[in-house]
Structure 1
Amino acid sequence: MKIAAVQMVSEPDLGANLLAARRLLEAAAAQGAQLAALPEYFCLMGQQDSDKLAIAEDLGHGPIQAMLARAAQELKLWIIGGTLPIKAGKAARVRNTTLVFSPAGDVVARYDKIHLFAYDNGRESYDEARVLEAGSQPASFTAEGIRTGLSVCYDLRFPELFRAYNPCELLAVPAAFTYTTGEKHWELLLRARAVENQCYVIAPAQGGRHENGRRTWGHSMIVDPWGEVLAVLPEGEGVVCADVDTQRLAQVRQQLPALAHRKL
């Protein structure tokens, strides 16, 4: 199965972001992708965290979900819809949610980001818990015989989540990594998750300077089960593609049967 990681530099304008996402999904389909994944916060990189509250949608309703469903159906794509804000149980909180759409335009999986990012080095400060309500359950789906485990950004630092998906063929990590942490850890962690789980990893990311002053690391990539980076886009809008090769998966797992050797 050919897969595509979409990189964006989203802005505070929801409409402009949805148009950009649709255009990039069309580019992925034109390159022969059967599955395309958007980055975290593809629909909005606001001036402040609370801007997410104004565009939050009820599950099954709203312009963001409508665009994703229509694109999946019209382009005949499986779409991992990055993340969008879905209304939560608590006031002034949303879930940072990944919805997966089939080529029929149906939602086939939902994952709410479990691990909420917090960082403060004296110059940059982030605390997602001010606006987000954490999820609690792993989620996966199967497309064209490929089982895919879902995660979001900061989840990448918690390998136990990815172990919960074994066995699987693909792990998805839509992200908006900061430039500071991404420069040091992004590729390192993605390759580690691929190697230790002996599966492919697709990591669509935000990548560039945003109108709100934030700079994201980018480097959207696809990694194979041996830890080889098959495709990468350092910065700016674009699409990178690669194949999930089940024969390659089987070869890696046969030659080094680490998953079968697990004791804990």
Structure 2
Amino acid sequence: MDHASSLRETGWDVRQRARRGALRGVTQGLAPGHVQANLAILPREYAADFQRFCALNPRPCPLLASSEPGDPALPTLGRDIDIRTDLPRYRIWKDGEMVAEVEDLREHWREDLVSFLLGCSHSFEEALAADGLEMRHIANNTPVPVYRTNIACTPSGRFQGPMAVSMRAFRPAEAIRAIQITSRFPAVHGAPVHIGKPELIGVDLDKLLAGQPLTLMPDELPLFWACGVTPQTVVAACRPSFCITHAPGHMLVTDLLNSRLAVF
């Protein structure tokens, strides 16, 4: 797909490409202006506790929508969504261990499964870019670096574990502007949870949870935002019998517009 076509692409277009198996890579930069969402799917027996977990931890897990048990549709996020096919890649978890990555869920679907869609940092990255703030992972066309922290999420039932964060680096004046801009988007993680000194939140920049490493320049500060990969760190910690998540960077692209998420 050429650049001009990608700029005209809608959330529905991206989902149809994923459904046909024609979309293999990450969704970063696809369907500009449209909200992308992280995914966690759990059996009904865990759903109430996980929904409360999201309510107690809105920075890493800003809940956009949830489904009825067994229903793959999410009409509040877009027309004709089928959560079983409309992301390019998924992860299957059993007893806290990732056992497979798959391109659709039709063979894994169960009538007791509840889908939870969480806000994604791709939305605020668009606002940062519109203000002229360059993000090196986007310039390099690589996934944002993600780390496990020592910041404990507020537990709900069996769900507990460490927060994951994504990192972007800016010079100080740019960092101030990035904080101001992302504060306007609490539905997609909001402002950073930490600035500078990664060791204070248990982060070793050489030990990635997902994404590609980013070398800090001498005049840059690392900024850390709560990340929608957090449910995967929580699943690994609390070990539910079954769970499905998106593969990092492989999101559901919705019909919602990023501009509607700004609170001021």
Question: Into which bin does the TM-score normalised by the smaller protein fall?
Answer: under 0.3
- Normalised by the length of structure 1, the TM-score is 0.26
Structure 2 length normalisation: TM-score? 0.26
